[in-house]
Structure 1
């Protein structure tokens, strides 16, 4: 079954059940499908051709899912843009993808106008105008023939390495993403409700089709506000939630430990490292309902899973990201692509049906990313323990080489997080005359708590080798993050290296 067939199957099976709830408005499966058909016919009438890339500049809303489905039915490739990015970043992405049509919401009309002026031949279409045109459009499914290798999504990654790149997913690979979620993370029932507050263009959106196929609901919020999110859980009868660690921290700080959780029985988290104190506090408050996944844009959603059962007990491997998912093969390799010895850290390589087809317009990057025979490099360093649990060590691009030693920021951050005064932290490498790179920690203290850099370095020294101890601790008000909550170490690291000549590739 291809991705577009999944859309049709869900609509056919569940017709008059509620599919999407947004504020006090809702759409049934039949209404979503009919709206998608009409939008698809409008796009086709405008001259959008099969395989053409269509830019989408809009946030979460009532019509986000129908528009995604419309692109599928028009055989268009979606190019979603994170509204939080700059005009320069948007322009580069649209130009790189060769987008000729950009659909945008009314609040982003100014940005769309600016992009139209920057890019020759770009046509912009307001979402309101698109909806107006659907009144005269056919409600019949255009039924264009689809192929497994049709590229349906070109998703630009959050840019932690600073390299512009879009992972491409096909009809077949995205359908495999849906199957991966249902096999490893959640098996929805018709009365289930998934709450979406993170942007639907990222991980949260991958849960839409699994719930759609089973006749379950998507409750959509504009964005993430802790109080509104906590209120939405009992209000919408939410049974499943998907959070990044930063969101969970904010919910607990906003009174989530004592909030009414109603029917909530599963919280899925991932995208960035989860501080152990946070997950322990969350489980004490909400119970053992947490499941962790590890994945990336190039191979979503989960390469490995730490299920709820593995979160409890004296030997619970909370620092792990679990065992490989049932539909993924994982190897740990060295820089030459050869397997590393058992117990040693190595770069994760994956082979799975949900892996991307390749980066858009990036033959050199694709050549270094794919190992052959279907294996994909992830640029994440990890190790397996003797029970087969996978432990992430760090991104290869974030590794600090201090003297002759490799320092993985994640390990130092975990040590800092274990100090009760640390709310958030990030570790990067700074230029150093003696060691080439020195470990520097950026720390956000907990409110009302006083701590010194010397105390924190002593805390780390008691837990890690001396060369891993931060040479400097900088206290900051916030740690920079991407639109999906990932720590942007590059934003902290680059100012430290301004004007310093470096070797060793893009960092």
Structure 2
């Protein structure tokens, strides 16, 4: 039923299948695209644009330095901890050309989060922003990281602008805390020493891991999803197949406000748009809306990739509403549920409908999408080419159309597994290659799907996964905490807000301020709770497991969202 059902669900002009073995590895795609689109702009940021030819040259210099000035070998891991700057694609593609496995790392991570990821991945090298180097100083000695490359925000700009902007950031805004990393090498020195040097191009096979993308999966501590060259190439080709009728090669301008270290932006902008030879305008700080809108005003952009919270913020900006949207052809949404009112308002403001998709880190990430020529708002669309979906009950049996069950996905973009965690892999993937998403969905007779709810207790804040287990581990380390729980409660702006519940040990006292200070010191800002409630007890099962769902239901009742 499954395969036969999906084959005829694609609009005219979109093939139901792609060939994930069209290219042997990412290096081949990069080389061919950079030759074919050599003079076309690849990435722009802070007023500087690099072409695909320059991207290849500079990533080659980075790769050459890695090969000639370190003892790193193909298969070794390199953590890249950068915001949206030109340095990011240069470092990532350079590392891949040298045969290294890229470990995408959030620049906002605390020292605790960095240490876990670096230790778990066994990273031997790190590329980081000077603004975060003081944290690297604390973490690196506890890990296998041997080489540290530090860059400043404006390093890719002209000498005058570089000195000016870097000085303002460091001395006026005081955004670069003092650090001491004797082994650190400057990013520009790496490029200078590698410039013109020969690169021994790595030639990994398609099943080799290209990227370790960390995620909590559906539960627990962050795990590294092993995304192979074949996984990422498949997702590039799947995106291309769906975009072919809307995005032309070598002439589109895509706004890139979502962080490239996040799998959604990574695959779409660094991979799929590289395959198509299109131009990505990197927004380094989308939280600075006025600066972002000012940047948008400089471009006749044809594509915009965002998520619900960003669409809301922009539509509320008078300056944004005054922009020229006449060239805008495609708007893509993912990372969190798109609200109907937001989709309607975006179309009113820009004249462009939003195509909502769905994916997971474990699916590289795009699994389903609304084809631009046939959008159904409120759905996550249809599976991308060469991908199958089904819903199952708790016994693992496939359910008929229209019935609600756990969404499962099968396709060439599904990860190899979790890094050094075979048990966790076996929990989410079966022997036939089906991946359990942890999301509850329904498949309509026309093939379009709707997400009904999340099976697990994961909290989604502005498109970022937040896992209660992690929050509770941090809370439990605070003296005075006897029991604790974390849940998400609905919020118009961010999708969900975090609320935590704490039972204090007898004879001890604890304040909300103490809890918040502790959480902020150990967690990235978006993981910090917005509400703290102290209780005498928490609801538990007969074996003492705290019932988060019961707590969430209570909060929904207070908000009038549940009877």
TM-score range, shorter chain: 0.7 to 0.9
- Cα deviation digits, residues 312-365 of structure 1 (max 9, x gap): xxxxx4221112222210011122322123321111111111111111121111
Match of 1:226 among 289, 295, 310: 289
**Shift in Å, 1:133:** 2.8
- Cα deviation digits, residues 269-325 of structure 1 (max 9, x gap): 0110111111111112222432111111111332221234444xxxxx422111222
- The residue matched to 2:430 in structure 1 has which SS? strand
Q: What is the alpha-carbon distance in structure 1 between the residues aligned to residue 400 and residue 259 of structure 2? A: 40
Question: 1:243 corresponds to which residue?
Answer: 306
Worse-superposed segment, 8-17 or 178-187: 178-187
- Cα deviation digits, residues 3-58 of structure 1 (max 9, x gap): 11111111111222222211221212121111111111211220111101111121
Q: What is the alpha-carbon distance in structure 1 between the residues aligned to residue 372 and residue 532 of structure 2? A: 35
8 Å contact kept, 2:55–2:90: yes
Alpha-carbon distance change, 345 to 18 in structure 1, aligned in 2, over 3 angstroms: same
CA RMSD of aligned residues (A): 3.3
Specify every segment of 5 or more residues in structure 1 that has no aligned partner in the other structure, as ranges: 312-316, 400-408, 411-425, 429-439, 447-479
**Matching of residue 304 in structure 1 with residue 361 in structure 2:** no
**Shift in Å, 1:260:** 2.6
Question: 2:261 corresponds to which residue?
Answer: 201
Q: What is the alpha-carbon distance in structure 1 between the residues aligned to residue 45 and residue 365 of structure 2? A: 24
Alpha-carbon distance change, 121 to 26 in structure 1, aligned in 2, over 3 angstroms: closer
Worse-superposed segment, 207-216 or 496-505: 496-505
Question: 2:158 corresponds to which residue?
Answer: none
Q: What is the alpha-carbon distance in structure 2 between the residues aligned to residue 331 and residue 18 of structure 1? A: 40
- The residue matched to 2:186 in structure 1 has which SS? helix
8 Å contact kept, 2:540–2:547: no
**Matching of residue 114 in structure 1 with residue 138 in structure 2:** yes
The 5 A counterparts of 1:89-238 are 89-119=113-143, 122-127=146-151, 129-137=186-194, 138-157=196-215, 161-185=219-243, 187-202=247-262, 203-207=264-268, 208-224=270-286, 225-238=288-301
- Cα deviation digits, residues 87-117 of structure 1 (max 9, x gap): 1011011111111211212222111111123
Specify every segment of 5 or more residues in structure 2 that has no aligned partner in the other structure, as ranges: 1-22, 152-184, 461-465, 469-486, 494-518, 549-563
Q: What is the alpha-carbon distance in structure 2 between the residues aligned to residue 391 and residue 488 of structure 1? A: 27
Alpha-carbon distance change, 392 to 226 in structure 1, aligned in 2, over 3 angstroms: same
8 Å contact kept, 2:224–2:419: yes
8 Å contact kept, 1:188–1:210: no
Higher relative contact order (CA closer than 8 Å, sequence separation 6+): 2
Alpha-carbon distance change, 493 to 334 in structure 1, aligned in 2, over 3 angstroms: farther
Question: 2:80 corresponds to which residue?
Answer: 56
Q: What is the alpha-carbon distance in structure 2 between the residues aligned to residue 258 and residue 497 of structure 1? A: 53
Alpha-carbon distance change, 92 to 282 in structure 1, aligned in 2, over 3 angstroms: same
Q: What is the alpha-carbon distance in structure 1 between the residues aligned to residue 536 and residue 30 of structure 2? A: 48
Question: 1:7 corresponds to which residue?
Answer: 30
8 Å contact kept, 2:538–2:546: no
Q: What is the alpha-carbon distance in structure 2 between the residues aligned to residue 206 and residue 332 of structure 1? A: 26
Question: 1:267 corresponds to which residue?
Answer: 331
**Shift in Å, 1:506:** 10
8 Å contact kept, 2:38–2:53: yes
**Matching of residue 384 in structure 1 with residue 443 in structure 2:** yes
Alpha-carbon distance change, 297 to 321 in structure 1, aligned in 2, over 3 angstroms: same
Worse-superposed segment, 93-102 or 299-308: 299-308
Match of 1:346 among 395, 405, 409: 405
Match of 1:19 among 21, 42, 50: 42
8 Å contact kept, 2:410–2:434: yes
8 Å contact kept, 1:197–1:220: yes
Q: What is the alpha-carbon distance in structure 2 between the residues aligned to residue 185 and residue 489 of structure 1? A: 37
When the two structures are superposed, what TM-score results if normalisation uses the length of structure 2? 0.70
8 Å contact kept, 2:218–2:438: no
Q: What is the alpha-carbon distance in structure 2 between the residues aligned to residue 304 and residue 115 of structure 1? A: 38
**Shift in Å, 1:181:** 1.1
The 5 A counterparts of 1:321-470 are 321-398=380-457, 442=489
**Shift in Å, 1:76:** 0.4
When the two structures are superposed, what TM-score results if normalisation uses the length of structure 1? 0.77
Alpha-carbon distance change, 487 to 300 in structure 1, aligned in 2, over 3 angstroms: farther
Question: 1:74 corresponds to which residue?
Answer: 98
Q: What is the alpha-carbon distance in structure 2 between the residues aligned to residue 293 and residue 487 of structure 1? A: 23
**Matching of residue 38 in structure 1 with residue 38 in structure 2:** no
- The residue matched to 1:372 in structure 2 has which SS? coil
Q: What is the alpha-carbon distance in structure 2 between the residues aligned to residue 322 and residue 363 of structure 1? A: 31
- The residue matched to 2:456 in structure 1 has which SS? helix
8 Å contact kept, 1:271–1:486: no
Question: 1:253 corresponds to which residue?
Answer: 316
Q: What is the alpha-carbon distance in structure 2 between the residues aligned to residue 505 and residue 332 of structure 1? A: 28
Match of 2:357 among 284, 289, 293: 293
**Shift in Å, 1:173:** 0.9
Q: What is the alpha-carbon distance in structure 2 between the residues aligned to residue 170 and residue 445 of structure 1? A: 36
Alpha-carbon distance change, 55 to 332 in structure 1, aligned in 2, over 3 angstroms: same
Q: What is the alpha-carbon distance in structure 2 between the residues aligned to residue 360 and residue 497 of structure 1? A: 40
8 Å contact kept, 2:236–2:275: no
**Shift in Å, 1:215:** 2.6
